[in-house]
Amino acid sequence: MIELVRLRADHAEALLAFERENREYFARSVPDRGDAYFADFAARHRALLAEQDAGLIHFHVVVGDQGALIGRVNLVDVEDGTAELGYRIGERASGRGVATAAVEEVCRLAATTYGLCVLTAVTTRDNPSSMAVLGRTGFTAVAEIVLDGRPGVRYQRRLVE
């Protein structure tokens, strides 16, 4: 069982530890955030919270059974009833349905709490796990793209009919 918790100021330390612990793992399938991300983490965290307060983004941490932060699920570029979904699940929690459950929950929140109608997501073709999560959670491939120089796919999911 997982819980999605809206990002708060007091998540900063655990979130930074999560990102550091999984940096190499994430870099296998998505571009590395770079050293500046970690060096400026506190300022970036405060800036994200300000954007969230303004309704421009909706960030969440994924909390596992033992209360540990095991992932994050974000909605960015919130505008006109749409947003882009992004998520990262830590290596120790991967392959256990956490990403699927977290994406399903953020889709529910997007429709019921944030008033969104459509979500988009992108992933590279060499990330079959992410493609599978998006397919299982009702996203449909809508376009072939190039993402960081790699072949990718843009997905879309209507939240309300």
Structure tokens at 76: 């960015």
- Three-class DSSP category at 74: strand
pLDDT for res 161? 61
pLDDT for res 74? 97
Mean pLDDT estimate for the chain: 95
| CATH number of this structure's domain 3-158 | 3.40.630.30
pLDDT for res 120? 98
pLDDT for residue 112 is more than 90: yes
CA 52 to mean position of chain CA atoms: 14
Model pLDDT for residues 113-158, shown as the tens digit of each residue: 999 999 999 999 989 999 999 999 999 999 999 988 889 999 999 9
pLDDT for res 1? 82
* Phi, then psi, of 2 in degrees rounded to 5: -120, 165
- Three-class DSSP category at 80: coil
Q: What is the 3-state secondary structure (H, E, C) of 93-143?
A: HCCCCHHHHHHHHHHHHHHHCCCCCEEEEEEECCCHHHHHHHHHCCCEEEE
How is the chain split into domains, by residue range?
3-158
The angle subtended at Cα 9 by Cα 80 and Cα 98, nearest 5°, is 70
Model pLDDT for residues 63-107, shown as the tens digit of each residue: 998 899 999 999 999 999 999 999 999 999 999 999 999 999 999
pLDDT for res 39? 93
Q: Is 154 exposed, middle or buried (0-12, 13-18, 19+ CB in 10 A)?
A: middle
- Sole residue written with tokens 């060499």: 126
User: DSSP secondary-structure letter at 19?
Assistant: H
Q: Are 152 and 144 in contact (CB under 8 A)?
A: yes
Output the pTM of the full model.
0.93
d(CA 71, CA 62): 5
What average pLDDT does this structure show over 15-24?
96
What average pLDDT does this structure show over 19-34?
89
pLDDT for residue 7 is more than 90: yes
